[in-house]
Amino acid sequence: MSTPAADRTILVVNVNTSAEVTETIRRSAAAAVSAGTRVVALTPRFGPASVESNYESHLSAVGVLDAVQRHDGPFDAVVHAGFGEVGREALQDVLTVPVVDITEAAAHTACLLGRTYGVVTSLTRAAPAIHDRLLLSGLAGRCVGIRAVDRPVLELDADPESTAKGFVTEAQALVDDHGAEVVLLGCAGMAGVTEAVQAALPVPVVDGVAAAARLAESLVGLGLSTSKARSYAAPQPKPILGWPLR
């Protein structure tokens, strides 16, 4: 049975511990969902200040699990707000509500809008992780390129004008040189510049946070959630030595 829109709550979980990035994510998600749907944004109580390496990505996944499992109150879906980061599958194992990752949501949305898409992210070193996530989800075949503005995550929101300018430059190269018909914001911290970059580009621009929030809301409205038949079945109870979390 689906939940009435006025009673829906979507948790949007930042993968880093920056309250400023969490607020950027919250605003983007709240603007995308229906009136009456509540967006609650969570910041992990421990983890990296920003996620820009494989090491930090795996650390962040534990912080995200902790944040969701400690949340006090009902919720109908979760948005995993890390572009190219690990952790979505673990949430699907332990939750019975829909879990939507912003990387996959952005790419799925792009595939509905054009034949090809490209990604603009924060740092060059993030590109392999993003490509791996797209491969794992079966969406890499329509990605024609991943480019970077080469600005650390925590600097993206500090100077939105510069971030938008860098994004437009790299996105235009994806359109002109690689044939991208849609461009994705490849970092949750970029969510605040969507309107500015869309105004400057001739192709659709997809913010993964907004796409994931709306898609999560749609799954709730359809009364659908993660299959527990095999891949995301609940973990079997067993001792976990020294584990400090729930």
For residue 52, the Cα-to-chain-centroid distance in whole angstroms is: 14
- CATH classification at residue 13: 3.40.50.12500
Are 83 and 131 in the same domain?
Answer: no
Query: Does 234 fall in a domain?
Result: no
Query: Does 70 fall in a domain?
Result: yes
Give the strands of the sheet with 38-42, arranged side by side. 38-42, 9-14, 77-81, 99-101
In this prediction, residue 6 carries a pLDDT of 66
In this prediction, residue 22 carries a pLDDT of 95
Are 23 and 69 in the same domain?
Answer: yes
Distant-in-sequence, close-in-space partners of 193: CB < 8 Å, separation ≥ 6: 156, 160, 163, 164, 167, 185
Are 94 and 216 in the same domain?
Answer: yes
Query: Does 229 fall in a domain?
Result: no
Query: Does 108 fall in a domain?
Result: yes
Query: Does 68 fall in a domain?
Result: yes
Q: Which phi and psi angles does 23 have, rounded to 5°?
A: -65, -40
State the amino acid at position 93 in one-letter form: D
List average pLDDT for each run of 10 residues in the chain, which is 246 residues long: 72 96 95 96 96 95 95 96 96 97 98 98 94 96 95 79 89 96 92 88 96 98 96 92 74
How many structural domains comprise the chain? Answer: 2
Query: Does 240 fall in a domain?
Result: no
Are 130 and 46 in the same domain?
Answer: no
Task: Indicate the pTM of the whole model.
Answer: 0.93
Which tokens sit at 47? 């983890």
State the amino acid at position 227 in one-letter form: S
What SS3 class is residue 231?
A: coil
Q: For residue 119, what are the domain limits? A: 103-208
Are 124 and 174 in the same domain?
Answer: yes
